[in-house]
A and B are shown apart, each in its own frame.
Chain A
Amino acid sequence: MSQEKIDILQRALKREKAARKAAEKILEDKSKELYVLSEELKVSNAKLEASVNEKSSQLEGVFKNINDAYVVIDITGNVIKMNNVAIDFFGYDIAQENFNIVRLIYFKDAEYAFTSFKTLLKEGAFANYTARIITKQKEIKWVQINASLIYDENEKPIAAQGIVRDITALKNLENQKEKILKELEKSNNELYEYAHIVSHDLKSPLRSIDALISWIKMDNEGKLDEPTLQNLTLIEGTLETMEKLISNILEYSSAGSEINETKYVYLDQIMDDVSRLLFVPEHISIKVLKKLPVVKGDSTKFQQLFQNLVSNAIKFNNKDQGIIEIDFVEEPSFYQFSVSDNGIGIEKKFHDRIFKIFHSLNKSKESTGIGLSIVKKIVDLYEGTIWLESEPGEGTTFFFTIKK
């Protein structure tokens, strides 16, 4: 081999060596890099794992600690997971026995249960399913259930989870309330009927006395002296008072209970009716200062209310020009009405007493002492209050509120 050739070969070998060295270096570097990466990956994997564990234990905590029963069922209704509340509540424990949710269904609500389950499968969830269940101890409980489906990665439903709230106590209270309301309505109606019967039984003898007196007068025409005739007239007057008293008591006893249904009441119209029904003497004028509002309630009650206040204002007016004014102001949750007059006025010390039944301040044939107690009862019925401002000799203003 010539020297030249050897040289070439040696140079080539050298180059190759260098290249290999470079390649080795690159390899080493790359390996190092990979190692670092893999180490990093390990760390982040560990972190990820930790965080997954953390999340599951958080979920586990929620699952264990919620106050409501929580169950997971497979698509056929077998319970595959349940918390302690569920175990206590239902009486079944999947650690001990197989437990299918169907066993909880109370026969009266079976149809509702199955249609709700269909809804769950179709819609993926249902909310506020409210029905009775029967526990292992054969107790009937009212529950409210919110449930949703759980899907696998192919969007296929594989299970369902539900939160079951025990609302038995609430439901019992509701039922109790309904029962009490019904009883109250019944006893109110009975009272109303009773008041009617009593009032007519009481009126019947009065009519008889009146007839008998008429006959005495007729049969003895010209034979009775003046004082006797006068006494007979007094008896007739007393009978009238008595009859009015009975009518008013009947009115009072039915004033506090809602007999008719609630409707819109046009108070303007009511006031028109009141002015027409009452005898308003020439010298007295009734002014409604602005258009009265429309309220909800029983129109007869509102008529009684205004009629009693206005008739008092007419009755107890001693001025040459009697003025009665009706006005109101609107507040966010109620209306405040006022009925004012320039009549005889009421002394401060009587302000509380006048609303009590049979506390008429003026003994006369017309006042039975019931009118204002009817007014008070009606205002109470509409959750309002009533009070008055008065200056003896100057006039009186009655204020009352009616809840909107």
Chain B
Amino acid sequence: MKNSLNVLLIEDNMIEIMKMNRTVSLLKAKHEITEAKNAEEALAILETKQNLPDIILLDLNMPKINGIEFLSILKNDPDLRHIPTVILTTSDNRKDILECYRIGISGYILKPLKYEEYVSKIEIALSYWSINELKSA
């Protein structure tokens, strides 16, 4: 069993990144967060094919390449498509949700208004993935 995860967080909002870092620092398990401020940055990290993340947390609303476009690129790459990708977004637009599941996601989490609620959602999601057997080392 693996306790700490290597998480790639793709998020352009500074405070959202702070929220994630703060949340993870509160948890017992020492998860490693890699930040990417946009899809291009994330692709640059993934293209090295070195130290691939265990899971990806992906925001949908991003400039230039948006989350759904990024997801398509990811799922079309045979070396990257196995990485569980969880959407972390504010959009409860049914069209987005259906489209994401169609392309292939491992989860869809809505960002709540209350910070406490956010902490509990992230804690549950990360602890779920940390009890999973994952492909990468």
A201: interface (CB < 8 Å): yes
Are B19's CB and A200's CB within 8 A?
Answer: no
Give 1 or 0 for each of B28-51: 1 = CB within 8 Å of chain A CB.
Answer: 000000000000000000000000
For A196, give its contact among B13, B91, B112, B113 (CB under 8 Å): B91
B112: which A residues are within 8 A, CB to CB? Answer: 207
How extensive is the interface on chain B, given as a class? 10 to 19
- Overall SS of chain A's interface: helix
Q: Which listed residue, B22, B61, B90, B113, touches A210 by the CB 8 Å rule?
A: B113
CB nearest to B22 among chain A residues: A215
The answer to whether residues A211 and B93 also contact, given A200-B61, A201-B61, A204-B13 and a CB cut-off of 8 A, is no
**A203 partner, pick from B15, B16, B18, B113, beta carbons under 8 A:** B113
**Do residues B113 and A208 form an inter-chain contact, with CB atoms below 8 A?**
no
Q: Would you give the 0/1 interface string for A365-393, flagging 1 where the beta carbon is closer than 8 Å to chain B?
A: 00000000000000000000000000000
Give the residues in chain B near A215, CB-CB below 8 Å.
22, 115
User: Contact partner of B18 among A197, A201, A211, CB < 8 A?
Assistant: A211
Contacts of B22 in A (CB 8 A): 215
Q: What are the residues of chain A within 8 A of B93 when measuring CB–CB?
A: 193, 196
A201: chain B residues at CB < 8 Å are 61
Could you say which of A200, A206, A211 has the most chain B C-beta atoms within 10 Å of its C-beta?
A211
Q: How far apart sit A240 and B16, CA to CA, in the bound complex (Å)?
A: 18
Whether A207 lies near B90 (C-beta < 8 A) is: yes
Q: In the bound complex, do residue B113 and residue A240 qualify as a contact, i.e. CB atoms below 8 Å apart? A: yes
> Is A46 part of the binding interface, using a Cβ–Cβ cutoff of 8 Å?
no
Question: How far is it, in angstroms, between the C-alpha of A207 and the C-alpha of B61 when the chains are bound?
Answer: 15
Interface string of A196-225 (1 = CB under 8 A from B): 110011011011101111110000000000
Instruction: Please name the 6 residue pairs, one residue from A and one from B, whose CB atoms are nearest each other, closest first.
Output: A208-B15, A214-B115, A200-B90, A211-B115, A196-B93, A243-B113
